[in-house]
Chains A and B, each alone.
Chain A
Amino acid sequence: MTTLTAATPRKLEVKDFKADVPPDWCPGCGDFGVLNVLQKACAELEIPPHELLVVSGIGCSSNLPGFFRSYGVHSLHGRALAFATGAKLANHRLTVIVTGGDGDGYGIGLNHFIQAMRRNINLTYIVMNNEIYGLTTGQVSPTSEPGMVTKSTPMGNLEQMLNPLALALASGCGYIARGFSGDPKHLQKLYMDGIQYPGFALIDVFSPCVTFNKQNTYHWFRDHVYRLEDKGHDPTNFHAAMDRAIEWGAKIPIGLFYRNPNPRPSLDKLDPALQGEPLVLKPRGLTAEQRRALVEEFM
């Protein structure tokens, strides 16, 4: 989070974060809600669009940066976190938000997901979890429920669901939340907290795919989800968070699962090269004296 500059003299509004290109998601897709709420959160947080970098992978959900007015990157399938990490380290003044799907982040990009949390790079990761591969027209995902019939599992999914929240807890993630795109007010609060959290923040969002997932529909989610806040969950309690994270059945919790009360310093606070000015603003090249000293090491 950084100061405003001359380029943003007035108070920011939602329209400042709307790109000229309208979203081309299927009507009713959960990702609309995810986008709208993110625009609201960024406006409210007064983040100048040019100091905001939104990075995605590939998937329906990963098309989000194209509809969001800021610097954006629509990178490779599964690689958004790696790309965003490099960008954040190059300019740690940027507010970096990574968006993508369950296939993108929990399937092909899973290694980066775990490592980014362990690494505690200071960015916000929003996963539009529709429990299906949307863009590729409806195959099974690591978060698809067992038994689910998809194009690639016509006899039903034989595998267990991946649990991103429990995985995040185990991987040292300091801010772990789950929202529902059908509950925008609640989701906005999670976004705003997550973006302000001084370290890696995960917000998994139930974002129904109305076209290819006929099982986990809006209706289904409304029937199942409850808010942790309503049940007196203490988000500073790691073990309580783990208990809630593994809850999946008649009732499924959403809300803030865990917020580390003593956040670990994020990577940019620790790397000696990143102290002070961001790398991109550092003076160019080495001095003649530095160069001479390097060569002398070999003599």
Chain B
Amino acid sequence: MDHANLIVGIGGAAGDGVASAGNTLALAVARQGQGVYAYNSYQSVIRGGHSWLRLRVSAQKPLNHGDQIDALIALNQDTLDRHLQELGSGGVALYNSAKIKPSYEPPQGVQLCPLPVPELAPSSKELPVMQNTVAVGAMLRLMGLDFAGLESVISTTFAKKPKVVASNVAAAKAGFDYAGAHFQPLPRQLKPTSQKWALVTGNEVLAMSAAMADCKFYCAYPMSPASAILHWMAAHAKQLGICVRQVEDEISVINMTIGANHAGVRGMCATSGGGFALMTEAIGMAGIMETPVVAINVMRAGPSTGVPTKTEQGDLNQVFGASQGDYPRIIVAPISIPDCFAVIQDAFFLADRYQCPVLVISDLLISEGNETVDPAVFEHIREIDRGETILPSANGELPATNGEPYLRFKNTESGISPRAVPGVPGHLYVAATDEHDEDGVLISDIYTDPVRRKKMVDKRARKMSTVLEHLPPPLFSGPADAEVTLVGWGSTWGVLTEAVERLNAAGITTNHLHVRYLVPFQVREVQKLLGRSRRIIIVENNQSGQFARHLRAETGIAANGHIRKYDGEPFEPKHIVAGVQDILNGKAEIVNVLSTEPGWRTDHPSGTSADWKGRLSGIARAATH
């Protein structure tokens, strides 16, 4: 990247306020035109817990959380002990000198920045989190940014408590000034820009996009990492007129949501793999009843309860396999936090047009990750097009008919039939999960009729034939005649984009294909793009290569190499670069990446790397054992 790009690590135990310190810093830099990408890695294996948030900041929007740190804010002793060694020359480590002392010599060229918090913020005696405010103020100064951004963030955060604003601003300013007087600024300085940013999580974007797409019904059963969608919806329900319900289980969730859609509103629901498993029977119901519904699976590491706070792309097979039988459905995976917006806009359009389930696959990285997004992205709303839905009118008027009897499941050329919803006069029918004829009458029991059964399966299947026309093409970038083609889907887009840059810079010509729509699969485009590839390497956050199998099933194309990861942590660019090198060197065909490296301490399961040799050369090494 051309612009200065800094990665700040903030660590502490649960309750130390890691996330809120990160959020304050992120907002403060965003208000000065800096792009941010943040990833919070929770640890639950150590006494007291360890929460480790990495915040990458740059005027040029960062696409991932990177793979090294330049600055450290240690909120407890444990964090300083763990992460001090990860800093390189020019790096800084900030900590409250009244509580924390380095346990070992810092790496060469690393600046220790002890902050005498009790002197800088007298209120810290009663309010220990004041140390966070002091540190954030100091960090801002070392980055080269102005104090005004932070002051405005504190003012909005505590808008209702002027006293708290005053004490926090004073503490932050004291940290800011102290850093200016006592420490060397970071070697790469950030410059304020006029760009405006919205700081969002993927879950917030999924929820907000749905609201903007006229989603009027949302229900859920809490499950990480999807719960924040429910929280956003509940917080905005009254203001936006959305019916938001928490109900007894995910079976109820999906059935209610389909019920609401059946009655004519746009409804959505979201869960993670375990809840999605409970939803699958009803997803098939929406298929045979031809009811639109948007359902999101935010993947976490599975199977079963798995690792609730860790990310994975392991539910692809589950989503493909949702429900028995054949039925039309659309499956899409957003590739980034901002992409969640467009995906949901499109999902509602497609669900209404094709009267079928649209299944959206997100993951913990996207859904709980934090990123600055250009607010202009949120202006790209899709015109609300209800397709062939016939809705009731407020005055109970009869919709125009051509005198023919209404057939809810009319066997049309497109397979799409006009869908009247309850309340519309003159269009009575029964929507059944049993196989039924065009008029909705069952043909499943005593009326069994092979000809009509096949006709109805064909009618529904035919809907899928025109979906491809409405889908954006798969993303492809990089030189056409590259030595390596990286193929990914979902949340790996940002990491792959950076890895491709680094590989090309290192002389390994690389291009990148990223798939959003998994069903229907853009077979022709993908075959054409991959047909020219010399070496195809598939990158995915799971153990068995679920996407690789799908690609092969759809296109007949088998990859030459695989980079996989299933340790709970997301990929970092260096993992991809090292994995490609290993594959090219013939070391392995499948590279299983682990977020630890040589030099990793056994008491240091922080998901971060400890061997930093050569990391500034642009190509980091990754363990592939």
Contacts and interface: CB of A to CB of B under 8 A. Distances in A.
Binding partners A and B: yes
Contacts of A271: 243, 245
Contact of B243 (A72, A279, A299): A279
Contact of A111 (B236, B242, B244, B248): B248
B495 interface: no
B255 interface: yes
A128 B301 CA distance: 44
Contacts of B375: 295, 299
Nearest to B375: A295
B262 interface: yes
A94 interface: yes
Contact of B433 (A7, A20, A58, A85): A58
Interface string B255-280: 11111111111010000000000000
A50 interface: yes
Given A5-B396, A53-B263, A294-B211, A273 B241 contact: yes
Interface in A10-68: 19-21, 24, 48-51, 53, 55, 58, 63, 65-66
Nearest to A290: B240
A295 B427 CA distance: 40
B202 to A, nearest CB: 13
A277 B391 CA distance: 14
Contact of B199 (A66, A79, A299): A299
A21 B441 contact: yes
A5 B425 contact: yes
B367 to A, nearest CB: 15
B430 interface: yes
A273 B236 CA distance: 10
Given A73-B430, A90-B264, A282-B216, A83 B204 contact: no
B294 to A, nearest CB: 14
A6 interface: yes
B237 interface: yes
Contact-residue bracket for chain A? 35 or more
A74 B291 CA distance: 13
B247 interface: yes
Given A82-B256, A87-B260, A89-B260, A74 B243 contact: no
Nearest to A299: B198
Interface string B398-409: 100000000000
B252 A115 contact: yes
Contacts of A6: 396-398, 425
Nearest to B282: A76
Interface residues of B, number: 76
A279 B430 contact: no
A85 B431 contact: no
B178 interface: no
Contacts of B397: 6
B378 interface: yes
A137 to B, nearest CB: 13
A148 to B, nearest CB: 27
Interface in B527-555: none
A79 B378 CA distance: 37
B263 A50 contact: no
B14 interface: no
A50 B428 contact: yes
B378 A279 contact: no
B217 A76 contact: no
Contact of B430 (A66, A94, A295): A66
A86 B262 CA distance: 9
Nearest to B285: A76
B420 to A, nearest CB: 9
A155 interface: no
A280 B392 contact: yes
Contacts of A94: 263, 422-423
B258 A272 contact: no
Given A87-B259, A89-B245, A294-B208, A74 B432 contact: yes
A86 B256 contact: yes
B67 to A, nearest CB: 27
A286 B381 CA distance: 10
A74 B241 contact: no
B216 A86 contact: no
A75 B252 CA distance: 12
Interface of B: 30-31, 196-200, 204, 208, 211-214, 216-217, 219, 236-238, 240-245, 247-249, 251-252, 255-265, 267, 281-282, 285, 289, 375, 378-379, 381, 384, 391-394, 396-398, 421-434, 441-442, 445-446
24 contacts: A3-B396, A7-B426, A53-B263, A58-B433, A70-B428, A73-B430, A73-B432, A75-B285, A79-B252, A85-B256, A86-B256, A87-B263, A89-B217, A90-B263, A115-B248, A274-B243, A279-B265, A280-B263, A281-B393, A282-B216, A285-B214, A294-B211, A299-B30, A299-B198
Interface of A: 3, 5-7, 19-21, 24, 48-51, 53, 55, 58, 63, 65-66, 69-76, 79, 82-91, 93-94, 111-112, 115, 119, 271-274, 277, 279-282, 284-286, 290-291, 294-295, 298-299
Given A73-B432, A298-B200, 17 more contacts: A21-B441, A21-B442, A50-B425, A72-B430, A74-B442, A79-B251, A82-B259, A85-B247, A87-B259, A87-B422, A89-B256, A280-B263, A282-B241, A285-B213, A291-B378, A294-B236, A295-B375
